[in-house]
Amino acid sequence: MSQTISDSELIARYRVPADGSFVLDADPSEAGLLPGKKASKPFLKEEQQRLTELQEVLYAQGKHSLLIVFQATDTGGKDGTIKNVMGPLNPQGVVVRSFKKPTEEELAHDYLWRIHKAVPGKGMIGIFNRSHYEDVIVTKVHGLVDDETIERRYGEINAYEKYLTNNGTAVIKFFLHISKDEQKERLQERLDNPDKHWKFNISDLNERKLWDDYQVTFESALRECSTTEAPWFTIPANRKWYRNYLIARIIRITLENLELEYPPAPPGLEGVVIDD
């Protein structure tokens, strides 16, 4: 199936530059690479099929691992993305971790302690639903730490992610970018639909009042922490079907760049005969 732009062009289009020039001004409703929701399904399916093939080689080789980070405002679509993009993969090779308010034990350690424990092992794909970036986003918006601490943490996070990549863990990070109007619609849907009441949290309304602060803070975190080793991607996420396609394709490109291959066969297989 043909793609509207090459893989390299797609990466350049959505990757946050590592030169400190990033501005969060992308259109969250953009969907220009696909003809529409219905027509997009074969494109996503093709990417997912390739992902399942690459996952098997990643697991068999046992040389690399992949860490995928998702960050977004409330209702940004992290859960839906994980379900709809990663669903076809072998669950034995995927570990999903969600990072909420730190526990007392976690607060007794440095902020990266709970993160490092969850990094995927060789051959595995790890998915972070929220991540260590909570400690430079939520903490900054709510004034829990000062600006000097935030700046220091940017450097620590960059060094930590470089350490991971140096030791065989590829790191890619996705910011699911939705508009304020889209967030309102999604919150209203949760309020109107009894089956989604469990997703509605009154505290989300308080966080919504801080929308502008969050946008500025996300922009800063992405600008300061998108590196050559561990890039951020800004994904237009108002249209869920387009979001899913972009993320599947970027993950596929990332895995292909690892130059995965099956391990060599053990010696002596040519002489093995299986008895009747």
- Asked whether residue 266 is domain-assigned, the answer is no
- Determine the pLDDT at residue 3: 59
- Asked whether residue 20 is domain-assigned, the answer is yes
- DSSP assignment of 5-68 equals S-HHHHHHHHBPPTTS-------TT--TTSS-HHHHHHHHHHHHHHHHHHHHHHHHH-S-EEEE
Mean pLDDT lowest among 37-46, 89-98, 114-123? 37-46
Asked whether the predicted pLDDT for residue 2 surpasses 60, the reply is: no
Q: Which of the four pLDDT bands, split at 50, 70 and 90, describes residue 13?
A: very high
- Asked whether residue 103 is domain-assigned, the answer is yes
* Averaged pLDDT for residues 202-213: 95
- Determine the pLDDT at residue 270: 82
As for how many domains the chain has, the answer is 1
- Determine the pLDDT at residue 66: 98
* Averaged pLDDT for residues 42-57: 97
DSSP conformation class of 171: E
Bigger pLDDT: 40 vs 262: 262
Q: Which of the four pLDDT bands, split at 50, 70 and 90, describes residue 197?
A: very high
Cα Rg of the chain, angstroms: 20
* CATH code for position 225: 3.40.50.300
Over the stretch 215-261, which tens digit does the pLDDT of each residue have? 999 999 999 999 999 999 999 999 999 999 999 999 999 999 998 99
Over the stretch 161-192, which tens digit does the pLDDT of each residue have? 999 999 999 999 999 999 999 999 999 999 99
**Would you give the distance in Å from CA 210 to the centre of its chain?**
23
Interatomic CA distance for residues 200 and 258, integer angstroms? 40
- Asked whether residue 239 is domain-assigned, the answer is yes
- Determine the pLDDT at residue 236: 98
- Among 62, 58, 50, which Cα is nearest to 253's? 50
User: Are 124 and 95 in contact, with CB atoms under 8 Å apart?
Assistant: yes
- Determine the pLDDT at residue 35: 87
- Determine the pLDDT at residue 104: 95
- Asked whether residue 50 is domain-assigned, the answer is yes
Q: Which of the four pLDDT bands, split at 50, 70 and 90, describes residue 111?
A: very high
Interatomic CA distance for residues 276 and 272, integer angstroms? 13
Interatomic CA distance for residues 108 and 21, integer angstroms? 36
- Asked whether residue 71 is domain-assigned, the answer is yes
Interatomic CA distance for residues 219 and 23, integer angstroms? 6
Question: The domain containing residue 178 runs over which residues?
Answer: 7-261
- Among 56, 75, 46, 107, which Cα is nearest to 190's? 75
Bigger pLDDT: 38 vs 248: 248
- Determine the pLDDT at residue 129: 97
- Determine the pLDDT at residue 1: 41
Mean pLDDT lowest among 9-23, 26-40, 134-148? 26-40
pLDDT, averaged across the chain: 95
- Asked whether residue 271 is domain-assigned, the answer is no
- Asked whether residue 185 is domain-assigned, the answer is yes
Token pair for 112: 């990266």
